[in-house]
């Protein structure tokens, strides 16, 4: 098992077995960032890196846990997944693009509840 960690702007990013956990270095609180957990309608870059694959396009139907895009950072590959069901509203990145921490990569229009 190999773990990588990086401190970026007061947040400690820990990468373990394809998962990313962020810890606020100032308060010691642990949280899961975009692409892992929560109920966000946005997928944001969990760290600076390069987008290597976009798996869905605008208008695609997406389910919670479904892979949406892949990025490469710190010599590792990360698959970012949808947290909610819905429709891909916009894709704000392209393959090969270098993205910064927190950039919104994909917006998802939540599925209407019946």
pLDDT at 35: 41
pLDDT at 37: 36
Q: How many CA atoms lie within 13 A of 69 on its CB side?
A: 32
User: Would 98 be classed as within a structural domain?
Assistant: yes
Domain count, the chain: 1
User: Would 10 be classed as within a structural domain?
Assistant: no
User: Would 104 be classed as within a structural domain?
Assistant: yes
What pLDDT, in 10s, does the model give residues 48-59?
A: 899 999 999 999
User: Would 83 be classed as within a structural domain?
Assistant: yes
User: Would 3 be classed as within a structural domain?
Assistant: no
Q: Read off the CATH number of the domain in which 46 is found.
A: 2.40.50.100
Domain hosting residue 79, numbered range: 40-110
pLDDT at 51: 96
pLDDT grade for 34, boundaries at 50, 70 and 90 = very low
> Which has the higher per-residue pLDDT, 51 or 11?
51
User: Would 48 be classed as within a structural domain?
Assistant: yes
- CA 56 to chain CA centroid, Å, is 14
User: Would 16 be classed as within a structural domain?
Assistant: no
pLDDT at 73: 86
């Amino acid at each position: 098992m190999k773990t990588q960690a990086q401190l970026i702007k007061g947040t400690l990013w820990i990468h373990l077995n394809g998962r990313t956990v962020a810890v606020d270095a100032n308060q010691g609180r642990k949280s899961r960032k975009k692409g892992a957990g929560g109920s966000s309608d946005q997928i944001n870059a969990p760290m600076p890196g390069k987008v290597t694959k976009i798996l869905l396009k605008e208008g695609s139907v997406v389910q919670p846990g479904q892979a949406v895009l892949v990025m490469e950072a710190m010599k590792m590959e990360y698959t970012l997944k949808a947290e909610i069901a819905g429709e891909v509203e916009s894709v704000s990145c392209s393959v090969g693009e270098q993205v910064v921490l927190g950039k919104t990569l994909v917006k998802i229009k939540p599925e209407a509840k019946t």
